[in-house]
Amino acid sequence: MIVLPGMDMTFVLAPCLLKPTAYVFRLAVFPQCLRPGRGPIVAQALLLGSITAATQAGVYGGVALAAGRMHGALQANLHAPRRLGRIVAVLFAATAGVTRWQGRQA
């Protein structure tokens, strides 16, 4: 999804927040990190939730900033998108080759 200047961020954030698999994973893993012997469960849940939120804001915020800068760089250079596409194609082909080689080894 391309984010253009002035685009409403809720339009961009909505697909990320509506991923049911992320919530299922969180509901499966989150309770395993809470320990009744280490204090109130509510306090542990709030602390773990705030750590998770801060980490996600840092990671997704960093990715969003990098994507915005890359978008500007790709717009400025006419040959950059083609070059980037070729690099990605080589990486995909190399990944497929390594996966195939590892599959034959097993």
Output the pLDDT for position 12: 63
**Gap between the Cα atoms of 48 and 45, Å rounded:** 5
- Report the pLDDT value the prediction gives residue 91, as an integer from 0 to 100: 97
**pLDDT for position 89:** 97
Length of the chain: 106
Residue 98 lies in a domain: no
Q: Tell me the pLDDT of the chain (106 aa) as tens digits.
A: 555 665 666 666 677 677 778 778 878 888 888 998 999 999 999 998 899 889 888 888 888 888 888 888 888 888 888 999 999 999 999 999 999 999 998 7
Provide the domain count of the chain: 1
82 within domain boundaries: no
pLDDT of residue 98: 96
106 is a domain residue: no
Please indicate, yes or no, if residue 4 is contained in any of the structural domains: no
45 within some domain:
yes
Q: Give CA angle at 18 (17, 21), nearest 5°.
A: 100
| Tokens of residue 30, six digits | 């989150």
Residue 62 structural domain: 9-77
Residue 97: inside a domain, yes or no?
A: no
